[in-house]
Structure 1
Amino acid sequence: MSGPFDALRTQLLGAAETLSDGPATLPDILSGIVDDVDHALREPLEIFPVCHHSPASALAMVRRLREKQPKVIYLELCEDMAPLLTELRNCRLPVALQSFASELDGFPKESAPLSVIAPITEASAEYQAISYALETPGVELVLVDRSTDHVFQWQPDASGDHEQPQEAEDDLHGDAVGVEIGDLRPRFAELEEHLLHHGRVRHWSEWWDQYVEQPLAGADYDTYRQVMVLIGSLFRRLAPAGTRRFASDEDRERFMWTRIREHLAASGIDRADGLYVCGAFHAASRLAEVGSEPGTPDFDITPRTATKWLYGLIPSSHSAIEAQFGLAPGSVSIAAATWQKNLGRSRLKPFQLAGQKGRKPAKLPVPISDDGPVEDQLTGYLSGPPALDGLDEEELRSWCVDIVRLARRNGYLASTADAIAVFETSILLAGMRGRARPTPYDFQDAAVTCIEKDTVPGRRDVRRLCEILLGGDRIGQVGYDALPPLARDVYDRLAPLGLNLEQRSIQRALLDLAARPELAAASQLLWMLRYLLPDHAVRPIMGSRKLGEKHIQESWDLDLGRHQRTIIELGYEGVTVEQVLEQRLRRAAWDPKATAATALKAVEDSLLFLDSPRLTDELGQRAVELLAAERTVDEAPAVLRRIRRLLAHYRATTPTLPAWSESFVRTGYAHYCTLLPTAFVADDTGVRQVGAMLGFLFSMESLALSLGCDRAQLELAVRQSHPEAPAKIALLWAALHQLGVLTMADLRSRVDDLLGNPLVVPAFPQYVAGFIQSLESVPRLAPFVVETLSKAFARLPDPVLLPWLPTLIMTLKDQAAELVPLLTREAGRTFPGTLPAVDSWVAPWNAPPRKPRTAAAVSTGASRGPAGLLLAAQPDTADAVASLLGCDGEWAPPPAGPDGAPPPSLLTTHPDTAEAVALLLT
């Protein structure tokens, strides 16, 4: 029996015979392509082949839906995303359907979170089919592609010879795996390179627009359908068949047809009333499981894992789609502009969901019967060049004028001459590439050639300006009603700020908490969002959140409109922001790699952002457990810093310390005493860690002893320590001084011995670093460290000192950067503050010893009244204060009056006041 494509098959086989020096498989390929087209068109269930984000596919879909008016549409889209489709009414396209899972069961835990997105644009065949089905009564829409769970079940591993799923670099999609209808592209680089070279184009998007989109934009439905299946069959037969990706594609086809047959059998719908929308690559399939016949074998579909998937809508954009699927920049924007232009030219009314722009669905005409025989449209289509439009001078002229105007606004020195040059260059490039009409890509290249200079004066180059001119990067938005509960709660709680949070620009929020205390709840929410969201989504300009701080005014920069996706994904983790934050803190504290410092940070964050004593106590107990289980002291500096801050907060706000903090101090005291001797000699333990351990032991000593710890344990640990590194030796000396074993004179003597030993001088910066680290545990040694450095600068000769200084600076920077300010303040108190005072200044450690006080000098204090008597009775206290202030401590006799008698005191001048005070004290 002859078929409609017999003539074409004969013609192609004759051409293959003429090319006898070609590949031996050429006749099989050419005849197989025709057979694939014939087979697809003979299927009783009409197959509609598409390419993703193709205006030609969308136009053909609109025409076919108005003619056929199918009762059921089978769509190549993840079957578990079906409930999301109705929410598209509340969105502004483009948006993406998303499946998200953070708690995995059946997949490797380290791969979490898993995410799949399916972008939807207005200029796509799938959106037209969805709109028709949702807005037309009696029409059923069935998603038949593999579920999200199966996407990751079947995802090839990295060791195969397949093409990995591309991941988006745009923030709107993150690292989600993208799925779309109709991924129509050559499956190996050689074919694509060949097509680009002979098509005189730069990238695949331009080739597709030139050789497929434009010829098919005005073609009839039969021609469109046959050409798309032909292209799908060509790429399918030339694709490497042994790859994992090809096998995955075949499993998808078996899956989809199995679901279609199941639905047909369950619903009883006539196959002639259905429409199967799939990619052209899948439309050309010849697998045994492909077809709607009842006897066709089914595919054994594996069960889903126990992973709990969450579903929602996230904003998308043209640039995000291009990055996700490897399309040329600007191609989706150009496709959207082409779609609008073809709609105006053909006067077609597209299908659109009623809720998106307030439009009602259009009434459909009476269906046209299409039961006639299939006719061969390919022969005429392939026999000659496509009928493309000629040069549209008015359109090209408007582009050139607009791009010059836009370039001027963005800082380019463009003129009318540049507009003329772009116009002529566009025509020239189109002619060189065999085109009668310049495409947007020709115009873009011409604009870059004629307007782009050596530097870009602003944020946008000319290529980006062309994309804006031809349609721009349209960015979608998910409507309020389609948001998860958490996102809606965020918008509701921030409503008192009076800002349009859906606006895609940075907005400044000013919070006067003193005048409007009701904004305190919004402030608390903003700080939680600051903790959970990226830094540039919620950014404080004025104000901070630390323990013990309370601000009466705050200022924020909010950019939630451009980070709607992150807020939506927070909704996958919980119902409220507080719940998500609590889960994050618990997850951090109970992570297998968590340390005591990590748990203490969680404790501090719970105090800052959540008013939950129960949670704080649980996190504190977890910190105690982690500290007791640690076998290293790498986190000792962070532990010391955080526990000091927490104890200071509790002492200032609560009458008693919480039980977990007392347990932490007891455990830490015993823990660090046990590890101290080993840490002193271990090469992999730094001086900062040992200094932090000593800081914990000495600063927490009084509290630890009151809680039952034994000071002998600390003394024994220090005596058992025998370090060899210079910095640790200095730390040990400081610890011995704190324990009373070494006096200040002993420390000075040891430092003098180091400076006098030429073999030790090169390592002296390490000793200094150790002494500076000791300020963490013995802060009263600050004057001694200043004295040590001063002695080094005074005694070392220049040939030794000058090479020694860079080593000293780098050592201080690497090992004691946070303690240098303390040392600087002490030096400021020690050294004179003016230049003239330097000449007469004598260092305290070089000053001559004070003369012993005589009884006469001490007794002179009696003539100064009660204060003088007190100082004379307790001279040591006065001497100590004078020493701290830098005074010489001499007791001088009081000045005599005019008659040689001592001056009258305040008490003798005003005796009534003194007597009144005496009566109150008795």
Structure 2
Amino acid sequence: MTPPFDALRTQLLGAAEALAGGPAALPEILAGMVDDVDHALREPLEIFPVCHHSPASALAMLRRLREKQPKVVYLELCEDLQPLLTELRNCRLPVALQAFASELDGFPKEAAPLSVIAPITEASAEYQAISYALDTPGVELVLVDRSTDHVFQWQPDASPAATEEPEDDLHGDAVGVEIGDLRPRFAELEEHLLRHGRVRHWSEWWDQYVEQPLAGADHETYRQVMVLIGSLFRRLAPHDRRYARDEDRERYMWTRIRRHLVATGTDPADCLYICGAFHAASRVTEAGSDPATPDFDITPRTATTWLYGLIPSSHSAIEAQFALAPGSVSIAAATWQKQLGRFRLTPFRLDGQKGGRQRAGKALPAPSGTSGPVTDHLSGYLAGPPALDGLDEEELRGWCVDIVRLARRNGYLASTADAIAVFETSLLLAGMRGRARPTPYDFQDAAVTCIEKDAVPGRRDVRRLCEILLGGDRIGQVGYAALPPLARDVYDRLAPLGLNLEQRSIQRALLDLAARPELVGCSQLLWMLRYLLPDQAVRPIMGSRRLGEKPIQESWDLDLGRHQRTIIELGYEGVTVEQVLEQRLRRDAWDPKATAATALKAVEHSMLFLQSPRLTDELGLRAVELLAAERTVDDAPAVLRRIRRLLAHHRATTPVLPSWCERFVTEGYAHYCTLLPTAFVDEDTGARQVGAMLGFLFSMESLALSLGCDRTQLEIAVRQSHPEAPAKIALLWAARNQLGDLPLAQLRERVDGLLGNPLVVPAFPQYVSGFVQALDPVPRLAPFVVETLSKAFGRLPDPVLLPWLPHLITTLKQQAAELVPVLTREAGRTFPGALAAIDSWTPPWLARKTAPAGLPARTGAGSSAQAAGLPLEAVPVAAFLARHPAGADAVADMLGCPGEWAVLPDVPVAQHGGAATVLLAAFPGAAEAVAALVGP
């Protein structure tokens, strides 16, 4: 019997010989393509080649399933995704099957998380096969491709290899698994096809030269053409690492098929094997359903635990995932619907499919029987021109009218004349490109040419408007029943809000917690979701979450419908939001790069959201460990800010401090005392960090000393510090003043000396910046800092002052924003409050120098009249205490110091000695504070 493809083989070889000077490998390639087609069609197990998201493949699949009605369908899809297929009934397509792993065992830890997705659209051959198998009694669906674990085992770096995608992509950085990856494997071939096909991108070439000709082809013609295309791309593809992985996939799939045939005893003639056209032309040794064919050695999976679920997908996400032209999947969906109506076909649809009509439960007609002998359909198909549809003027006219209407709604100045121009230009472009009828791509080009002028008036350009017109970016949705337990729990707990959380738009939620206490649980959940989800998914408009606060009213913008994927992926990490949040906090605190500030942040969030003392103590102890192990002080400002907030909260709400807080204070006191001399001289350590260290040491000093720390350690650390940077020198002087080693009078003399030294004047702004940073560790220096700033503004020359002012403002804004109110309040007390008083106002530091002889001005440090040899009436504070001696006498009695009051005119006082007067002269600050509260 003559082989069916001998005539075609002879014809192609003759054509190759006629090409004088052609490639030497051309006859081998052409003959090999025919051999591949012959080999694939002779396989007892029918191979059905497809291209992913191809309407022509879906139509051919639909016809073949109704004709043959196979009992077993083998599908090229990751075998461990099979349990997800039944959940497609509860979804609105497009959706994606997903395998997800965040805790890896057998892969590099830094590669986590790993994710694999397989998108499903209605206009795809695999969805028709899935629907047929799941809704037809007695039909078995078997997924035979490598598992998701093997997907990453076979990648050299075991990390996601997807292309970079936009931020709003629903697939994220997942690795895409595509059935029927028909695309040239090297740029030269694709460029050649696009240039000679007069198209711009691969999707347009495929639609023009494969989709349209094959839409109405019979089954045998479709199979032979698809295998021929797959063989062409296979033989021209470079034999690289990807080619080797594809061959291993083919060995894997055929091994699984043979094992299933042997285990079930199914006749291969009753089966259908659906795979990409590239794999249909496989000639590996392990290919074939013959039981005698050798099996492929399948490696075991790693110990990684994979989690599975469905996530929403969209046409744009699929296009970005697989590098398709924008709008191509939407055009394919529109073509699918048009072809169904043209050929009067009823597609397979899963019963109960969300978003679709219920399919009538009619039994399929009896199968037409087994296929006849293999015959050559390629010769006639390749010899004649493709039978393309003629011009459909009504369809094109409708497109032109609708695009003008849509353009006007989006701000374009389009008119009926533009619609006529788009119509004529579409015909012109189709004729120039050798097409019998304009394609959607021709229409897009014509619309852009005729409507889009100099600029885009709105958010959407004309090309995007054409995509919307031809089908839009359809976005799928996972139904409630197909969600993981965590996602269902979120929807259930937010039900009291009375909102449709599946709606893909921003919704405003108003929570009156005082009037409706039952919404407190919703508020708690929303704050946890705010921490776990992207910013736009859950966004507070009114309300805050801080330690010690009790919310009364809150307002939220919720966009959970468009961020359903992120909620689903939270379900891969735990059963409840609380469990996921606890895991995230632990992961942050025990991360190899975690710092003490990171752990304190986790402590604060655990107190805000979880109210778990056990977890809080555990995170707090972790913060102590991290602080003791740190060798730098880069995070000292964050550590100081957070530990202050936590200590203030505990002091206000609990009778005693937690043990971890006490340990943190003692460890921090010793730790920062040890690092202080080094930080002062280290050039990489800024004044802000040193100021924060001093702020920790001085503000926590009383608590640290009560817990057993030694103040001598701090004094020694300050004495060992010898900074060279002006800002750090100012900080050191402030620290010495706080310790009593540098009185304020001497500090003022040093500052005046700096201003009087012409060599130091250019660096004086840096000293001022240091004093400003010192307001945190030594807040009582605020009057002195205001005095120093005033002197700097008044005495520094403009070439020094003007360049420094912007730097001062940015420094205060970025590093010391909390110090600005301190400076502002002190300046308000120092400077006059009315404009008219400025002329007669004398700065306190100048009034001190110009005071009358024998009566020096009162200083901010509370200079004593007794120390200056003045009568007590010269100081209002002393006079006030002399008139009300009971408090001072009580303090003197407690200290065991009998005192004697000086006699003031017209002031009756008791005679108790002079010790109380000496005490007040030595420590005037407390007396002045009391006087300020009571009044002069």
* TM-score bucket (shorter structure): over 0.9
**Taking every aligned residue pair, what percent have the same amino acid on both sides?**
83
Partner Cα separation in structure 2 for residue 721 and residue 362 of structure 1:
90
2:188 aligns with: 190
Task: Tell me whether 6-15 or 357-366 shows the greater mean CA deviation.
Answer: 357-366
**Which residues in structure 2 correspond to 1:211-222 (within 5 Å)?**
211-222=209-220
- C-alpha displacement of 1:2: 1.9
Cα deviation 1:681-707 (Å, max 9, x = unaligned):
122221111111110000001111111
Contact 1:79 1:146 in 2 (8 A): yes
Question: Matched residue of 1:66: which SS?
Answer: helix
Residue 259 (structure 1) aligned with residue 275 (structure 2): no
1:803–1:91 distance in 2 versus 1, CA, 3 Å: closer
1:737 aligns with: 737
Residue 340 (structure 1) aligned with residue 337 (structure 2): yes
CA-atom RMSD, angstroms? Answer: 2.6
Contact 2:47 2:273 in 1 (8 A): yes
**Which residues in structure 2 correspond to 1:451-470 (within 5 Å)?**
451-470=451-470
Task: Tell me whether 709-718 or 317-326 shows the greater mean CA deviation.
Answer: 709-718
1:313 to 302, 310, 315: 310
Question: Matched residue of 1:306: which SS?
Answer: coil
2:820 aligns with: 820
Contact 1:400 1:419 in 2 (8 A): yes
Question: Matched residue of 1:556: which SS?
Answer: strand
1:288 aligns with: 285
Residue 581 (structure 1) aligned with residue 581 (structure 2): yes
- C-alpha displacement of 1:793: 2.1
Contact 1:765 1:811 in 2 (8 A): no
Partner Cα separation in structure 1 for residue 804 and residue 401 of structure 2:
68
**Which residues in structure 2 correspond to 1:348-747 (within 5 Å)?**
348-356=345-353, 357=356, 358-747=358-747
- C-alpha displacement of 1:363: 2.0
Task: Tell me whether 801-810 or 276-285 shows the greater mean CA deviation.
Answer: 801-810
Contact 1:538 1:559 in 2 (8 A): yes
- C-alpha displacement of 1:322: 0.2
Contact 1:512 1:554 in 2 (8 A): yes
- C-alpha displacement of 1:303: 0.6
Cα deviation 1:409-435 (Å, max 9, x = unaligned):
111111111111111111111111111
1:901 aligns with: none
1:757–1:125 distance in 2 versus 1, CA, 3 Å: same
2:170 aligns with: 172
Question: Matched residue of 1:562: which SS?
Answer: coil
- C-alpha displacement of 1:761: 1.2
Query: Quick one: which amino acid aligns to residue 197 of structure 1?
Result: R
Cα deviation 1:601-621 (Å, max 9, x = unaligned):
000000010010100000011
1:250 to 235, 247, 252: 247
Partner Cα separation in structure 2 for residue 570 and residue 883 of structure 1:
59
Query: Quick one: which amino acid aligns to residue 469 of structure 2?
Result: L
1:250–1:777 distance in 2 versus 1, CA, 3 Å: same
Partner Cα separation in structure 2 for residue 805 and residue 492 of structure 1:
56
Residue 761 (structure 1) aligned with residue 758 (structure 2): no
1:498–1:805 distance in 2 versus 1, CA, 3 Å: closer
- C-alpha displacement of 1:824: 2.8
1:782 aligns with: 782
Contact 1:524 1:609 in 2 (8 A): yes
1:910 aligns with: none
- C-alpha displacement of 1:769: 1.4
Contact 1:167 1:178 in 2 (8 A): no
Partner Cα separation in structure 2 for residue 278 and residue 645 of structure 1:
61
Contact 2:131 2:350 in 1 (8 A): yes
Contact 1:406 1:465 in 2 (8 A): yes
Contact 1:135 1:361 in 2 (8 A): no
Question: Matched residue of 2:352: which SS?
Answer: helix
1:682–1:370 distance in 2 versus 1, CA, 3 Å: same
Contact 1:862 1:868 in 2 (8 A): no
Partner Cα separation in structure 2 for residue 526 and residue 762 of structure 1:
53
Contact 1:46 1:274 in 2 (8 A): yes
- C-alpha displacement of 1:715: 1.1
Query: Quick one: which amino acid aligns to residue 657 of structure 2?
Result: L
Partner Cα separation in structure 1 for residue 204 and residue 705 of structure 2:
78
Question: Matched residue of 1:540: which SS?
Answer: strand
Contact 1:422 1:443 in 2 (8 A): yes
Contact 1:156 1:245 in 2 (8 A): no
- C-alpha displacement of 1:813: 5.5
- C-alpha displacement of 1:809: 4.6
Question: Matched residue of 2:82: which SS?
Answer: helix
Query: Quick one: which amino acid aligns to residue 235 of structure 1?
Result: F
Aligned residues: 886
Residue 206 (structure 1) aligned with residue 204 (structure 2): yes
Contact 1:537 1:560 in 2 (8 A): yes
1:235 aligns with: 233
Query: Quick one: which amino acid aligns to residue 12 of structure 1?
Result: L
1:740–1:261 distance in 2 versus 1, CA, 3 Å: same
2:265 aligns with: 268
TM-score, scaled relative to structure 1: 0.93
Partner Cα separation in structure 2 for residue 11 and residue 861 of structure 1:
121
Contact 1:54 1:123 in 2 (8 A): yes
Partner Cα separation in structure 2 for residue 234 and residue 542 of structure 1:
62
1:311–1:373 distance in 2 versus 1, CA, 3 Å: same
1:731–1:864 distance in 2 versus 1, CA, 3 Å: closer
Partner Cα separation in structure 1 for residue 105 and residue 733 of structure 2:
55
Query: Quick one: which amino acid aligns to residue 769 of structure 1?
Result: S
Partner Cα separation in structure 2 for residue 816 and residue 131 of structure 1:
63
Question: Matched residue of 1:355: which SS?
Answer: coil
Question: Matched residue of 1:311: which SS?
Answer: strand
Cα deviation 1:262-319 (Å, max 9, x = unaligned):
0000000000000000000000011111111111111111110000000000000000
- C-alpha displacement of 1:792: 1.9
**Which residues in structure 2 correspond to 1:843-882 (within 5 Å)?**
843-847=843-847, 848-849=850-851, 850=855
Contact 1:353 1:361 in 2 (8 A): no
- C-alpha displacement of 1:819: 2.6
Partner Cα separation in structure 1 for residue 880 and residue 778 of structure 2:
41
Cα deviation 1:205-244 (Å, max 9, x = unaligned):
0000000000000111111110000000000011111x10
Contact 1:315 1:475 in 2 (8 A): yes
Query: Quick one: which amino acid aligns to residue 278 of structure 2?
Result: F
Partner Cα separation in structure 2 for residue 585 and residue 747 of structure 1:
46
Partner Cα separation in structure 2 for residue 587 and residue 859 of structure 1:
60
Structure 2 unpaired stretches of 5+:
857-864, 889-906, 910-915
Question: Matched residue of 1:97: which SS?
Answer: strand
Query: Quick one: which amino acid aligns to residue 257 of structure 2?
Result: I
Partner Cα separation in structure 1 for residue 204 and residue 141 of structure 2:
33
- C-alpha displacement of 1:790: 1.1
TM-score, scaled relative to structure 2: 0.91
Contact 2:227 2:278 in 1 (8 A): yes
Question: Matched residue of 1:96: which SS?
Answer: strand
- C-alpha displacement of 1:94: 0.3
Partner Cα separation in structure 2 for residue 736 and residue 514 of structure 1:
51
Partner Cα separation in structure 2 for residue 197 and residue 273 of structure 1:
43
Question: Matched residue of 2:780: which SS?
Answer: helix
Partner Cα separation in structure 2 for residue 188 and residue 402 of structure 1:
39
- C-alpha displacement of 1:41: 0.3
1:870–1:446 distance in 2 versus 1, CA, 3 Å: same
2:65 aligns with: 65
Residue 300 (structure 1) aligned with residue 297 (structure 2): yes
